Amino acid sequence: MTDTKQLIEYAQHPELALQNLAELLALLESNDETIQNYSSEALENCGPPRPEDVSFLCQQLKSPKSSCVYWASTLLGRIGSGTLSTTEVKDLQASLTTAVADTSLELSARERAAWAISELGQEVSSNRDLLEKELPTAAPRLKRFIETALALGQRK
């Protein structure tokens, strides 16, 4: 188990945090609130993920743990446009859309997944139906994020 001192190192050195994403995501579920907070701080400070982390983070979007989905979405949203191929973006958006629609997740995780879709900066046509289905019952902030993601397809 990682101690607080190690987590402080991760928070202060983004490259260490990126090298230890799996550990940090697991520690978000610690019973120790200090460990949770330092894990979140390290994830906040680490910037965009490395290309080799994308697959792992996509798998985390399937987690039943809202904190994992929230942070995986956050990191994936930081990738932005231009880093991934069109096919990779479509696959990533499909995974994020599934997280948006997962009502077993906390609202903040679903909101972050919707935010990440729009941050990828490409049309969401393949996921449009599922996102539109969420609109009528979405909480106001989630609804705004979904609307922003849907607007990507209209920016031509």
Is 24 within 8 Å of 43 (Cβ atoms)?
yes
Note down the domain range covering 106: 51-156
Same domain, 25 and 61: no
- Give, for all 156 residues of the chain, the pLDDT tens digit: 578 999 999 999 999 999 999 999 999 999 999 999 999 999 999 999 998 999 999 999 999 999 999 999 999 999 976 778 888 888 888 999 999 999 999 999 999 999 999 888 776 667 788 899 999 999 999 999 999 988 875 544
Q: Are residues 83 and 108 in the same domain?
A: yes
My answer on whether 143 and 66 are in the same domain is yes
* 76 and 149 co-located in one domain: yes
d(C-alpha 61, C-alpha 69), whole Å = 5
- How many separate domains does the chain show? 2
Residues 60 and 106 in one domain: yes
Q: Are residues 122 and 95 in the same domain?
A: yes
Same domain, 63 and 9: no
Q: Kindly state whether residues 97 and 142 are assigned to the same domain.
A: yes
- pLDDT of amino acid 118: 87
Residues 95 and 155 in one domain: yes
Verify that 109 and 134 share a domain, yes or no.
yes
Retrieve residue 74's tokens.
């956050």
Cα 156 to Cα 150: distance, rounded to the nearest angstrom: 13
Q: Strand, coil or helix: what is 62? A: coil
Residues 70 and 43 in one domain: no
Res 91: pLDDT: 87
Same domain, 77 and 142: yes
What are the residue ranges of helices labelled H in 32-127?
33-45, 54-60, 66-77, 86-101, 107-119
CATH number where 85 lies: 1.25.10.10
For residue 156, the model assigns a pLDDT of 41
Tell me the one-letter amino acid at 86.
T
Of residues 101, 100, 89, 79, the one with CA closest to residue 125: 89
Model confidence pTM above 0.85: yes
